[in-house]
Amino acid sequence: MATLKQYFDTDFKLLSAHQTYIFDSETEKIEVICRVHYDFDANVIFVSYYVPDLKDVVPLCIKLIEDLDWAEKMIADIPVEQGKPGSESVISTNLQFSGQIHLYSEVDLSLEDLELLKDHGKRTGRSVRFQGPKYASERSKLEKPLAFLSHDTRDKDEIARPLALRLITMMCPVWYDEYSLKLGSSLRQSIETGLKECKKCVLILTPNFLSNTGWTKTEFNSVFTREILERTNVVIPVWYGVTAREVYEYSPSLADRVAIEWSKGIDEVSRKIYRSVTS
């Protein structure tokens, strides 16, 4: 199931800039992600926040609604220019603030607290939209993952996470551990569920993956067992820095599969995976 953080990362398919804000109260200290989104088609700017788990979230939300100095400074300090062929370019500093503030909080609020935030926003000329865990839960019920991303942990930053985000923005939901695993959930059970329910399994084959004899090997064996039982092709191999000989040594049958070369670029890799998963 997708998490609230995943939706925060992918809901707005626009150019954006972000920074972090440290909220330090008497009892807690958390890091809030603050983003400015540039909608050049509508000529407006709006902001969004991701607030981790916090006991007393309402005062922080009010502060985030009121204080937009950080956004004004970011817009002024980092001007962005964008334009379509044949049309005049638009500079981000000329865009108008729409008044929209999107709050993603890991704590659901009562109806009274929600009305409090919305009323506070109206008094400051801002439209507040709040999304909590219930929003993520209800929405995820309609978004069953189509592909399972099997990868080595050491390849997260450079390959797995960017690929997961790109596929999600293409409306291709994926099972990816950072988004699909909940705190306290069974790792084995969650992975096995993902492997069984997803239409395809994307194997991100790297030197790290091939040398890993732990979870990635377990996932690999589970996928091939499923292929034997269902008599269908489930695996989509993505090669990154590996040779045909190395893949053959890992699995002769895997070396015979048509693979996608990461060197083609993330756009081409994502497009091919999307076509395979949705066809």
Per residue in 121-130, pLDDT (tens digit) is 999 999 999 9
| Average predicted confidence (pLDDT) for the chain | 86
**Domains of the chain listed by start with CATH number:** 4-139 (no CATH), 144-278 (3.40.50.10140)
The predicted model gives 38-57 an average pLDDT of 92
The predicted model gives 260-272 an average pLDDT of 96
Instruction: Please say whether the beta carbons of 78 and 91 come within 8 A.
Output: no
Question: pLDDT value at position 140?
Answer: 73
Structure tokens at 16: 């954006």
Question: pLDDT value at position 86?
Answer: 66
**Is the pLDDT confidence value at 84 over 90?**
no
List the catalytic residue out of 66, 219, 261, 268: 219
Give ∠ CA 161-164-165 in degrees, rounded to 5. 85
In the residue annotation, 219 being an active-site residue is answered as yes
SS (H, E, C) the chain: CCCHHHHHHHCCCCEEEEEEEEEECCCCEEEEEEEEEEECCCCEEEEEEEECCCCCHHHHHHHHHHCCHHHHHHHHHCCCEECCCCCCCEEHHHCEEEEEEEEEECCCCCHHHHHHHHHHHHHCCCEEEEECHHHHHHHHCCCCCCEEEECCHHHHHHHHHHHHHHHHHCCCCEECHHHHCCCCCCHHHHHHHHHHHCCEEEEEECHHHHHCCCHHHHHHHHHHHHHHHHCCCCEEEEECCCCHHHHHHHCHHHHCCCCEEHHHCHHHHHHHHHHHHHC
% of residues, the chain, pLDDT over 70: 90
Write b or e for each residue in 35-71: b if 16 or more Cβ atoms lie within 10 A of its Cβ, otherwise e: bbbbbbeeeebbbbbbbbebeebbebbbebbeebeeb
Give ∠ CA 207-257-216 in degrees, rounded to 5. 40
Question: pLDDT value at position 185?
Answer: 41
pTM: 0.56
